[in-house]
Amino acid sequence: MKRILLPIIAAIVILSGCTKDFESLNTNPLAASPASFDANFFLSNAQNTYKEAIGGYAGPILFQSGWVQILSSTTSGAANYYSAMDKYVPPSNTNSYTANSWNNCYRAASLAQQIVKDFGKNADQVNVVSAAIVVKALSMQYATDIYGDLPYSEALQGETGLSQPKYDKQEAVMKGLLTELEGALTKFDASKRKATADLFYGGDVAKWKRLGYSVMLRIAMRFTKRDAAFAKAWAEKAFAGGVITSAADDAFMRGSISTGYTNPNARALDIPADFYSVRWSKTFIDYLRSTNDPRLGVVAEVPPAGLAGNTTFGLVGNNTPANQLGQPNGFDLNGGATDITRSPGYPGGTGTGGGISPIGRYSRPRTSVYTPNRDVALFIMTAAETSLLLSEAAARGWSVGGNAATHYANGVRAGMESLATFSSTGMVPTAAINAYIAANPLNVTTQAASLKQINEQFWATTGMLMNFSESWSNWRRSGFPVLTPVVYSGNFSGGTIPRRQIYPTGEASVNDANYKIGISGLTPATDVWSSRVWWDN
């Protein structure tokens, strides 16, 4: 699949930082105006900014990856910021980390909205405008999933002087996004100009429509706890519109080392302290073992023995499936009662003398798949996700074509195929995929059994594709897999798995009255990590 990389963004970074002054730009004969400015530039910047919101230190690795027990960390020394994900303990920069997703999502949405504002009436730009609305929907949906109620109807209007937008209820935000998506998706037109700086699909209109309907499906399924009839109607509408059904249509972005716009997950995982500390969780590895999943030897490796073998980037580990061992969540390297050496079933370290690595036997993400360089793909949305959501919809008796078992098998296959997008060593042999699907069909004896299996597979598959926030959000929505929370001294969530990120601290100072209204939409109505957003009740 063709991908356009990121050098174009560097040329517009100054312009993209000035959207609040766009009215003055429009009247300045020496500056860019809608008549002379190419909307494609803002689209690529919006896409890249959204990428930064859903990866790396914006939150997903530092928070959700461990909350949902895909990754584990002993959070020792320089990497103590991982204490938030593995033990729910705040590191020194928590306030900055909690704000990153908020800031990046609103930045991406603002860039997308500027395209709509300046080019929405230009028939020749309809594909760029419609793509921008899809990116806006991705950004705002991600933000409300993480935080709860937030500015939407009055958001993105800083140029008008509106600096204290009201907080809309999450239900209203999500329904508004569905309406925006529906309007945009009917306007894509392959006969009109294509998006030429598109970082997802290189301007392919058909693929953009499938992405848009897939986002519609994702949002629709968030309503299953609160309004199943509404969820059904929109899920069926998304399916009828045409969602992503093949790994060849996965939406992803590759980074560009030469311009500095790299994969935020790879940036995090190849930092020395992170590289040593972060491992696959025991919960995750045990799940793959339980069904002899062929992905186990593809995604995991045991580092070479000893401290040097564990800390030297580029050394190839042992990916033999039988040798893989997940690290239990909630332990450290501090020498006390929660030291990893005191964990149940501790296998011992590797190395000798001063070169011992206490965590040397635990499996890490395979470096040749996830961090061979910082240009590896970051997934936006995949056929695996949509197929598994369709499987759940079918299990609920909704009209989404085929049956739950077929959609489930399609989702498993797509998830395995998508791993090759990271690198060639991520490829799962077709014969192994076929054998696994044949040996592990969907359990259709009861609806409850089906929902459990579908959503456990969703959790593991999105985790392997490093879409950690979707693993976590779907866990909150479905309740699967059943996870045992970590109870660690000084935790910020009362010994429960966090259900949201707290609002950025700046909201209380710059938009206090509306911020307090936003808090009222949480259960309980307190800005804490354990409160639940509307759709999670």
* Tens-place pLDDT, residues 439-453: 999 999 999 999 999
Half-sphere exposure of residue 227: CA atoms within 13 angstroms, side-chain side: 13
Segment 17-43 shows an average pLDDT of 55
pLDDT in tens, 357-413: 999 999 999 999 999 989 999 999 999 999 999 999 999 999 999 999 999 999 999
Virtual torsion, Cα 146, 151, 127, 56, nearest 10 deg: -30
Query: pTM higher than 0.85, yes or no?
Result: yes
Rounded CA separation 38/125 (Å):
10
Q: What is the pLDDT of residues 470-518, one digit of tens each?
A: 999 999 999 999 999 999 999 999 999 999 999 999 999 999 999 999 9
d(Cα 411, Cα 513) in Å, to the nearest integer?
44
- pLDDT, mean of residues 50-74: 94
Hey, what are 279's tokens?
A: 């491992």
* Tens digit of each residue's pLDDT (9 = 90 or more) over 100-122: 999 999 999 999 999 999 999 99
Per-residue H/E/C for 120-179: CCCHHHHHHHHHHHHHHHHHHHHHHHHHCCEECCCCCCHHHCCCCCCEECHHHHHHHHHH
Res 234: pLDDT: 98
Bridge-based pairing of strands 364-365 and 377-381 is: unpaired
CA nearest neighbour of 457 among 418, 410, 419, 408:
408
Helices (H), 54-92: 65-67, 83-86
Please report the sign of the dihedral spanned by the C-alpha atoms of residue 389, residue 395, residue 399, residue 402: positive
End-to-end CA separation in angstroms for the chain: 40
**Residue 300 burial (CB < 10 Å; 0-12/13-18/19+)?**
buried
